[in-house]
Structure 1
């Protein structure tokens, strides 16, 4: 599927002018040749014109056509004020269309999802995650609102593919990588193949780091900490049912566990959530991992009275309490 052209780009603006000119003036042979040459100069020109023409047709200014034949256009004559008004209306309509939100993809707890994007890219969305396109005209600009996703990006004429997760911006052309958005501001990116550029905010490309296969970065506010995976194919290990953490906040681990479980797990205080965890385990063993947390961290597990559980700070002055069932 061909990617739409931004109507506010130079090509989009020129296409808009041609769409209005077709209904606003005679097309002598020389003018038709100019129009045809512009259309044939770049496939994007024809796509942009078709978009602009579709908006004009939506406004009722052009008859529907199945092919662009500049030399055979009817010679419609408009008065100048009407043409100016049409131009303003077309621009306003295009602005409205550009502002329309793009598609969003969500998964419930315990379920993943395969998503095929219009540009040929593929996304595997982790449980409890939400991903959306910036707009209908920018399908290669995505935002990860929560959770985690693994991307296999298709090359498309050098056009970048971006994923924003919190303050972090990931920018690629074609590659395989994983993006994890933590419970707070922390974002983790892992690269399986290709090259990925990560910045701590969209307008800070001068502070971006470049990752290659087998590398990872944790973006936490203005800090970008680059590390290495044991193997490049471990990027997005959740796809094989494996969760791994290296000095990660307990709050991040709990947020992930809640995306895989129907039984809520909460944290009793911010201080408890900041405790660090280094562990690796299968998702199928998540309940066992939770039950063992009091053995390795100063926490205890209690019931919330509603079927869920809470991790609270252990009280050294009190005898250990029975674990929550």
Structure 2
């Protein structure tokens, strides 16, 4: 019996590796869904070995990213009628090479950062906040999971590219040039103002906290006064509307404030700040309305609050993953 144990262990490890490789191909297929993302996270949470396999796989993807990017460039050259270099694809390994290229450049469902964001000038980790003092006296406050590049702005002012995440910008009181923030195909500019800008998955939300800001996308431009908010994305520039700025800027006090917000949105927001993940397994539970405020430094309490207030069933898994569903009758 003892002699069989190493064989069983080797077979289990080989199975785990095959499953990890299958996830690489699936996630790189351009057809992954939100259900796939949830299943992938649950797969990683089955055991420490699963989570470790995921971590190791991600490191491999990072290491292979330069080669994968080279493959993409060669494919683009081929599309222009030039001869692509065939040997590189053979080196990376057929279908997996194509998946690596896609996963490295366009990670599906926000599971990890794209290689285009690894080289950001400034970035924050999960739960981290950071202040960046800019050359003309403006101050950039970065929230959790945020990546920005600095660049010259128009008219000699500062320029910021918000690749992903959320930031608050405070321009200098004696500023003589505009601060410009670009995000997801639009721009936000101001001279003497304070505003919050959030870019999540290409959907941007801009809130004017004081002064005035200009928001432009395509041919349209809208001026936001204090206490007004505007959203834009693939559907174009939205309409400015009044908003309670307290919850918008609460993260600056390391608080999250929710006023009659669906639990599904609360969970999505909390997941930006905590390691691990809260996963709702019930759509009905996700529609429950939440009126609450939480300390960013104590977000592990959220799962227990949902259990106590809504009678949810709570299942804790390795890696900080918590399943939240309706309790069985």
**Normalised TM-score (structure 2):** 0.51
Which secondary structure does the structure 2 equivalent of 1:124 belong to? strand
CA displacement at 1:122 relative to structure 2: 0.6
Q: CA deviation at 1:276?
A: 7.3
1:188 aligns with 2:202: no
2:158 alignment partner, one of 140, 144, 149: 140
Q: Is residue 133–residue 139 contact of structure 1 (8 Å, CA) maintained in 2?
A: no
Aligned to 1:120: 137
How many residue pairs align between the two structures? Answer: 209
CA contact (8 A) 1:109 1:259 kept: yes
Partner of 1:104: 121
2:222 corresponds to 1:213: no
- Classify 1:277/1:241 alpha carbon distance in 2 versus 1 (closer, same or farther; 3 Å): farther
Aligned equivalent of 2:328, options 302, 319, 322: 319
Aligned-pair distance for 1:105?
0.9
Q: Which runs of 5+ in 1 are unaligned?
A: 1-100, 321-325
1:12 alignment counterpart:
none
Secondary structure of 1:260 counterpart: coil
1:287 aligns with 2:282: no
Deviations 1:134-176 (CA, angstroms, capped at 9, x unpaired): 4699872222222211111237875432223335432222311
Please state if 1:176 is matched with 2:194: yes
Q: What is the match of residue 303 of structure 1? A: 316
SS, match of residue 192 in structure 1: strand
Note the C-alpha offset of 1:263.
Answer: 3.6
2:238 is matched with 224
Is the contact made by 1:119 and 1:156 (CA closer than 8 Å) also made in structure 2? no
Long gaps (5+) in structure 2: 1-117
- Whole-Å separation in 2 of the counterparts to 1:265 and 1:176: 32
Provide Cα deviations, 1:237-283, integer angstroms capped at 9, x if missing partner. Answer: 211122234565656533432333234324559x6898475544132
Aligned-partner SS, 1:291:
helix
What does 1:33-182 align with in structure 2 at a 5 Å threshold?
Answer: 104-134=121-151, 140-154=158-172, 159-182=177-200
TM-score (ref. length: structure 1) = 0.51
When residues 114 and 157 of structure 1 are mapped into structure 2, their CA distance, relative to the original with a 3 A threshold, is closer
Asked if the contact 2:168–2:194 (Cα under 8 Å) also holds between the matched residues in 1, the reply is: yes
Instruction: Kindly indicate whether the alpha-carbon contact (under 8 Å) linking 1:144 and 1:164 is maintained by their aligned counterparts in 2.
Output: yes
Shift of 1:123: 0.8
Root-mean-square deviation (Å): 3.9
Secondary structure, aligned partner of 2:240: strand
Q: Which has the larger radius of gyration?
A: 1
CA distance 1:120–1:261, shift in 2 (3 Å): same
Deviates more, 1:301-310 or 1:242-251: 242-251
